[in-house]
Amino acid sequence: MTTTAEVEREVKFRVQNLAPVRQRLEALGARLVQPRAHERNLRFDTPDRALSRARRVLRLRQDTRATLTYKGPGDPQAQVATRTEINVGVDDFAAARRLLEALGYRVVLEYEKYRTVYALGAVRVMLDETPLGPFVEVEGPTAAAIRAVAARLGLRWEYRLRDSYAALFARLQARLQPPPEHLTFAALAGHHPLPADWLPVPPADASAST
């Protein structure tokens, strides 16, 4: 079992196309940390949604490994999403789920994506193919470092998003009838194309698209 505890600082950018961002990363000499991999996430809460009300997250993720994550409340005044994050590597995804359910937690959201991860210095750039469309997530030690990399990738800072995928999905759920319960490719298959104005900011690569 491995455990890491740190402060997570990140932003997301909705983009029209991931390919130009990948090309810029490679031109800048970014290191491929994780090739494209499918990721399944289960978000847990108590029956009365106590964690959500306290703006806390308990998540079990399966990609190339299984990881249990706790996230504390975010700082609403920060330029980037900033919150305490504790990750614990687990050996058995199914057993970890049974343990959480035995403790009284239940799955309140399942979401998935395909993720490719690059490192550019101390900053990590995630290329995410999600049921909501393509996104770029930039995570680093400081807001300044994150902003500098975003600029090098041609992403407009004023269009950054500090919301989690769960929060973005909640925006979309309010627009769809019937609202899908989970953020999976299968659940949203019948809702494409998505409403054009479901997200209040345009793609961050709009001026640099090819």
- C-alpha 205/C-alpha 210 separation (Å) is 9
Report the percent of the chain where pLDDT is more than 70: 96
Q: What's the pLDDT at 21?
A: 98
Domain of 88, CATH number, reads 2.40.320.10
Mean pLDDT for the stretch of residues 143-155: 98
Residue 55 sits in which domain range? Answer: 3-208
- As for how many domains the chain has, the answer is 1
**Mean pLDDT along residues 54-75:** 96
In this prediction, residue 131 carries a pLDDT of: 97
**Sign of CA pseudo-dihedral 41, 127, 203, 79:** positive
- Which residues are bridge partners to 183 per DSSP? 111
Instruction: Tell me: pLDDT of 207 over 70.
Output: no
What does the pLDDT average to over 19-39? 98
Tokens of 47: 């029956």
The stretch 108-127 carries a mean pLDDT of 98
pLDDT exceeds 70 at position 33: yes
pTM for this prediction = 0.93
Q: How many CB atoms lie within 10 A of CB 66?
A: 19
Percent of the chain at pLDDT above 90?
A: 90
User: Tokens 């306290």, residue?
Assistant: 54
